[in-house]
Structure 1
Amino acid sequence: MFTLRAAVMWTVNDFPAYAMVSGWSTKGYMACPVCKEDVTSGWHAGKVCYLGHRRWLPWDHEWREKDKEFDGNTERRLRPREWSGDEILEQLNRLDFAPFGKTVSRTRPSTHLNWTHKPMFFELPYWSKLKLRHNLDVMHVEKNVFDTLVGTILDIEGKTKDTIKARLDLERMGIRRGLWMNRDSDKARRDLAFFSMKPNDKKEFLKFVSSVKFPDGYASNIARCVNVDGGKFTGLKSHDCHVFMQRLLPVGILHLLPEDVVKPIMLLSRFFSQLTAKTLRRTDMFQLRHDIVQVLCKFEMIFPPAFFTSMIHVMVHLPEEALLAGPVNYRWMYPIERLLGEVKKSVELWRQTLRDEVIIIVAQK
């Protein structure tokens, strides 16, 4: 006989569930649960986007002085402040939240910022002392970053962030004149951007992907997800995107896009490859913290503001979490998703068995 004691180290969940367990809404102008109200956001191409990654650069960095290459403004601000658990708890204790219930109005006062409720985790005496309470799930972040990036450089309809609204947004901001709509008399035309592949290059890239073979157990058959004639991918799973981002993408685009576009994408690929390694070194994490800021700033000079969704922004926080909590392999949702998959299969098998038994009983009666 012995007394078993357990402690909650942290939570692992996707971004919508992050909002439920943390109490901070992951939607709107303050969607980043790490930067909180200090995040840089704006309305671009019909949605909220998150820019301002020059704030993480050194104070004397030359990119801080550039305006037209970024959002039209110079950058004088420091990086967003870091909130401790005790400060968050003190802030939550000052707020009055409506009780739970479907009939209760959910309109939040401006003083509540993006807080929706006080998480019950703070009832644990040690919860406010933890450095990391909720993980940004790298699996879903990598999947969403891949979809946004590949959809844009392949100019896939419905997936690309380089839309007509994005081009008009650039005109409104008065930046990157080369990407403005091409107007002829009474018509406007969206020309192919320099960061997107031409039709022939796109076919070459898709044929390359469909021809790649992987060792057994390394990855699924990604070739089955390639539609060369349609110029798009279908049915890519999270692990497919994981392998694609780190292994295929930097090789496939090497000679199909301008060098200024290829370099930051290759740096991004290396970032995820090193971040998800089984062994992490603190020196490597400090380097990744520097690299991801460089990547995001270069992306701001290449892609329109509509490209910068919340998933693109939260990459800047991933090295910090790795420094606090160690390898990503113990903090992402691959094992959780596999377990849930087995549970769903068991439930479905049980339901089918129960259905067959009911049918037999009814037939006997």
Structure 2
Amino acid sequence: MRTAEQAAPVPKTPAPPWRSARFRRFALAGLISATGSAMAPLALAYAVIGEGGGAGSLGLVLAVNTVPTIAFLLVGGVLADRMSRSRILLLGNLGAAAAQGALAVVVLTGTASTGSIAACGFLSGVAVAFTVPAGQGVVNQLVEPGQLQLANTLVRLPTNAVRVLGPVVGGLVVALCGPAWALAFDALTFLAAALLLHGLRLDAPVVAGGVLGDLRSGWSAFRSRTWLWTYTLTGTVVVAAWLAGYQMLGPVLAARQYSGASSWGLVQGAFALGLLAGGLVCLRWKPYRLLAVAVATSSLLFLPLTALGLALPLPVVLTASLIAGVGLDIAIVTWTTAFQLHVPEGELGRAAAFNSVGERCAIPLGYLLAALAAGIWSERQVLLVCAVVIVAASALNLCVRDVHRVNRAPRQ
């Protein structure tokens, strides 16, 4: 006679993500498009410089690229909960390919101007507004809940490796062939990604009601989850302080305190290597309190700001940047996993859109506040203030009780 233990069914172990052809297709599409995107910023900067523009022209181009993303994100979030997310990603990648291809043509033919470059950037920004919310809800349609962290890590690991090598390769392409060819390559990678996504064919989430009604219900759901809106608010503050300190003031102090561009290149390389190492950590470490870990590890971004602000030796700055990169990638993987586990399928797009609006609004906010603060304090003092802001915002978020309740157990 069989015992109760013998009669009980053995839980089926979910297949690893790489066994799924659809997951491999999605991950490969992301890797290919990331390869071109890693070269694009450098190529864009030299395209602006090549047509006679300076810092003001480049700033205008970057702003025109950012504004439509913020403006259309909420629309993209609503559509991501009404349409097939794979179809949205397909159309978004085709739009980005068209924008980058047009930019490559005007640069190659010598007809580029700040206006034409900005127009192409505007179209790219619109494409991003639709692909970001859709992309957040794809992985959980491809793998089982217990495999989400592994799947998110596997998506990020190769793209992080590309971020280490991409700028170097992009610099060589721009130096040898000119920025137009790097931009053309970026367009081709978007096109190749679109072809891969064409075969993904994910079902659309079932959402009833009109667009405005969906937006209102999405906002109500977002606001009702304390852990979600407090994390978004904290992220806005942390991203603003990080970008203002690291991206804006970091190169200035590197030129003043170290050896300029070469030392800053090492700092950025150390940070990129940290991102790659953080992905490797996530292959092994599966913390239970996902959101608390995300908040704590993202706070490590204060380290390189502190090292630069205190004018510590370059090896210390490199070590701090490496650790910050490790922490940030762990934070991204654990946050993404928690988000996918604890937000219902039909709300993922809108919730991702509200979260992304908060973080992207931090970009101009951080630069503006840092510029104003630099008129009052020295650059080093501003960096230290940014470091304190990151620690304080993260500590306050860890005081929110709901943050510690968002764990590895999937939503019921």
Quick one: higher RCO (CA 8 Å, sep 6+), 1 or 2? 2
Superposition TM-score, scaled by structure 1 size: 0.30
> Which is strand-richer, 1 or 2?
1
> Which is helix-richer, 1 or 2?
2
